[in-house]
Structure 1
Amino acid sequence: MPTCPLCASDDAAFYHRDARREYHQCRRCALVFVPPAFRLGPEEERAVYDQHENSPEDPGYRRFLGRLFDPLRERLAPGARGLDFGAGPGPTLSVMFEEAGHPMAVYDPFYAPDPRVFEQAYDFITATEVVEHLFAPGEELARLAQRLRPGGWLGLMTKRATDREAFARWHYILDPTHVAFFSETTFRWLADELGMRVEFPAADVVLLQKP
């Protein structure tokens, strides 16, 4: 069985198969994931992202991001500094926070691949519709948690897996770049692993606070 990309356990079980690929579930952290053999290559992956048309000029996209922006902003001190991880080809959440008085850095492995952002410390880090794309979510999320100042927030937005029957009908698995599917159980495991406090303030939204 493939190794879990979140917790590195080799105790995973077959979960689902569709016309394109297989999915396995880790018995330790409950992550559902796509084994490496079924992942896209870098050029194929970027070709999918290049089709995204997200923009700060789109009020609908701003409303979508508001599900994370609003509860996170309520918890931030004035002038808190943030990083938007996985900002994509049309960074928008960073613009929203800058408009609200929060200096922002952005990082994206394809569109803003500046590793210097990981030399800084932040009051908050956001990753909207990102964690489901990560080949090594355990490594990436631990790195983000390390860049947070004490009391800092990691704000994530991703649709959550529920049960096997719903998973089989789930539109979210149709995107070939989606390879890691988190549940509330998985996020609670992650919070314990990182030594952080977890909240679920809105649909698809997770906030983790560093002590």
Structure 2
Amino acid sequence: MPTCPLCACPHSRHFHRDARRDYYRCDNCRLVFVPPEQRLSPEQERAVYDQHQNRPDDPGYRRFLSRLFEPLQHRLAPGASGLDFGAGPGPTLSLMFEEAGHPMAIYDPFYAPDASVLERRYDFITATEVVEHLFAPGRELGRLAALLPSGGWLGLMTKRVTGEAAFARWHYILDPTHVCFFSEASFEWLAAHLGMSVEFPGADVALLQKK
């Protein structure tokens, strides 16, 4: 069985199979994931992302992002600085925070690949519709948490796994770039592993605070 890309546990069970891929669930952190040999190449990934039509001037897209923006912004001190990780081809969440008075940096491996921003410290870090794309979420999220001070926030937005029957008919697994699927248990494991607390202010939002 494949090793879990979140907690590195070698024990997982086959969870689901569709016409294109297999999905395994980790016995330890409950992450559901696609095995490495069934992931897209970087070129194939980029081709999918290039089709995205997200724009900062789209009110609907801003409403979508507000599910993370609003609960996190309420928890931030005035002027707190942030990083939007995985900003995509049309960075918008960073603009929303800048409009609210928060200096922002952005990083995206395809569209804003300046890795020097990953060497700075931030009061908060956001990743919206990102963690489901990560090949090594344990390593990547650990690296982000290390950039936060005590009391800093990691705001994540992704749809969560509920049960096996719902997973089988879930539209979220149809996107070939989605390879990791978190449940509340997965986020609770992650928070404990990183020395953080976690709360779920919305159906798709997890806010982790460094202790």
Partner of 1:155: 155
Match in the other structure for 2:136: 136
1:24-44 superposed Cα distances (whole Å, 9 cap, x missing partner): 000010000000111000000
- Cα distance between partner residues in 1 of 2:197 and 2:44: 36
1:29-65 superposed Cα distances (whole Å, 9 cap, x missing partner): 0000000111000000000000001011000000000
Deviation at 1:20, TM superposition (A): 0.2
The normalised TM-score by structure 1 is 0.99
After TM superposition, what 4+ stretches of structure 1 lie above 2 angstroms from structure 2? none
Q: Describe how 1:5-154 pairs up with structure 2 within 5 A.
A: 5-154=5-154
Give the drift of 1:112.
Answer: 0.4
Tell me how far apart the structure 1 counterparts of residues 135 and 82 of structure 2 sit (CA, whole Å). Answer: 24
1:20 and 1:149 map into 2 onto residues whose CA distance is 42
What do residues 7-37 of structure 1 show as CA deviations (whole Å, max 9, x unaligned)? Answer: 0111011000000010000001000000011
- Secondary structure, counterpart of 2:123 in structure 1: strand
Quote the offset at 1:119 in angstroms.
1.2
Residue pairs, 1:187-198, within 5 angstroms: 187-198=187-198
Give the distance between the partners of 1:202 and 1:168, measured in 2 at CA: 23
1:118-144 deviation per Cα after TM superposition (whole angstroms, max 9, x unaligned)? 110000000000000000000000000
Unpaired runs of at least 5, structure 2: none
* Counterpart Cα distance in 2 of 1:205 and 1:52: 21
Equivalent residues, number: 211
Percent identity for Structure 1 against Structure 2 = 75
Q: Which amino acid aligns with 1:159?
A: K
- The separation in 1 between residues aligned to 2:154 and 2:78, in whole angstroms, is 17
Over the aligned positions, Cα root-mean-square deviation in angstroms equals 0.4
- Quote the offset at 1:107 in angstroms: 0.2
Q: Aligned partners of 2:195 and 2:68: how far apart in 1?
A: 22
Q: Distance in 1 between matches of 2:6 and 2:25?
A: 11
What secondary structure, in the 3-state scheme, does the structure 2 residue paired with 1:15 have?
Answer: strand
Q: Distance in 1 between matches of 2:21 and 2:119?
A: 37
